[in-house]
Amino acid sequence: AVSAYIKALSLLSAKPKPTAARSMIVGSAGAPPEVPEAPPLQLFVRLGTLMLQLGRNDAARGVFLQGCDTWQTCSMWLGAGIALLRVDQLKESEDALMEANVRNNKDPVVWGFVALVCLARGDKVRVDQADRAIVQANRLGLADAALLRELANSYTALDLLESAEALFRRSLACESSAHTRRRLADVLSAQNSLAAAVNEYKAVIEANEDPSEMALAAGECEKLLVALGRSEEVSQIQALAAAIKAC
């Protein structure tokens, strides 16, 4: 799929498309040079998005920035902002996201990525800006589970655990995920909400969605049960994990 998109993009970028109407007007002799027809907007967006999904962030950056030369749209600038963020060009990413926001200030995903860039800067002023961006994103109905989880991870890295917890919960409300639930349990544990963390770790084990997440959850759950003086439940967790694994 990627190679097909790349081929289409290169062909459209390199070869002008003659039109019957133009031939009728200028004739075949002495005609001025054809102006290449711009590749379709969606071709750039789909190819750039595929590159991001494959982790080819430099290529995605090139595709989106090339697209921005022709298509001054929110989706194109958003893609450029995401790609630039992935290659740690924070200032350029922020500039691109501002361009996206100018074109559509009601896109919750744009506001979410604005917050992510601010959090990557890490200082208090930028964190305050991230907080305001997230308020706006939530007001507009941000429902991108992966982006919400990434924002939660960024807050966790800054030890802003209450904000992280709220975002992990919002991500789970959008889409069930063993990884997200385990990360929520980690944050609850870090806030000394041990009983609540145990419940979330148990939910990861019982969901039986991802063996690696189950193993991590079981290990942390056992530690917390001991800390809570509930050592008798450790064997139950071990038996539950073993039974699910055997199924």
pLDDT tens digits, one per residue of 102-130: 999 999 999 999 999 999 998 999 999 99
Q: Is 192 helix (H, G, I), strand (E, B) or coil?
A: coil
Is residue 181 within 8 Å of 204, Cβ to Cβ? Answer: yes
Q: 61-75, 175-189, 198-212 — which is least confidently predicted?
A: 61-75
Angle 105-108-114 from CA coordinates, rounded to 5°: 80
Query: Which among 122, 184, 130 is positioned nearest to 153, based on CA atoms?
Result: 184
- The residue-averaged pLDDT of 192-208 equals 96
Average pLDDT, the chain: 87
Q: Is 142 helix (H, G, I), strand (E, B) or coil?
A: coil
**In this predicted structure, what is the pLDDT of residue 241?**
79
Which pLDDT band, with edges at 50, 70 and 90, does 247 fall under?
low
**In this predicted structure, what is the pLDDT of residue 43?**
83
Please say if the pLDDT value at position 192 is more than 90.
Answer: yes
**In this predicted structure, what is the pLDDT of residue 204?**
96
Is residue 220 within 8 Å of 189, Cβ to Cβ? Answer: yes
Which pLDDT band, with edges at 50, 70 and 90, does 31 fall under?
very low
Rounded-to-10 torsion of CA 178, 181, 183, 185? -130
Question: What's the whole-model pTM score?
Answer: 0.83
**In this predicted structure, what is the pLDDT of residue 10?**
55
What's at 81, amino acid-wise?
A: G
Please say if the pLDDT value at position 27 is more than 90.
Answer: no
Residue 176 main-chain phi, psi, to 5 deg:
-70, 135
Rounded-to-10 torsion of CA 169, 171, 172, 178? -110
Which pLDDT band, with edges at 50, 70 and 90, does 71 fall under?
confident
Of residues 46 and 31, more confidently modeled: 46
Is residue 225 within 8 Å of 191, Cβ to Cβ? Answer: no
Please say if the pLDDT value at position 156 is more than 90.
Answer: yes
Query: Which among 129, 146, 148 is positioned nearest to 138, based on CA atoms?
Result: 148
Q: What is the DSSP string of 39-80?
A: PPHHHHHHHHHHHHHTT-HHHHHHHHHHHHHH---HHHHHHH
Q: Which helix (H) or strand (E) holds 229?
A: none
Helix axes 108-121, 90-103, angle to 10 degrees: 160
Rounded-to-10 torsion of CA 182, 84, 111, 134? 40
**In this predicted structure, what is the pLDDT of residue 22?**
31
**In this predicted structure, what is the pLDDT of residue 234?**
94
Burial 140-161 (b: 16+ CB within 10 A, else e): bebbbbebbbbbbbbbbeeebb
Of residues 27 and 243, more confidently modeled: 243
- The residue-averaged pLDDT of 192-200 equals 97
- The residue-averaged pLDDT of 85-111 equals 97
User: Distance (Å, rounded) from C-alpha 222 to C-alpha 192?
Assistant: 15
Burial 188-204 (b: 16+ CB within 10 A, else e): bbeeebbeebbebbbbb
**In this predicted structure, what is the pLDDT of residue 28?**
47
**In this predicted structure, what is the pLDDT of residue 240?**
82
Q: State the CB neighbour count (10 A cutoff) for residue 62.
A: 15
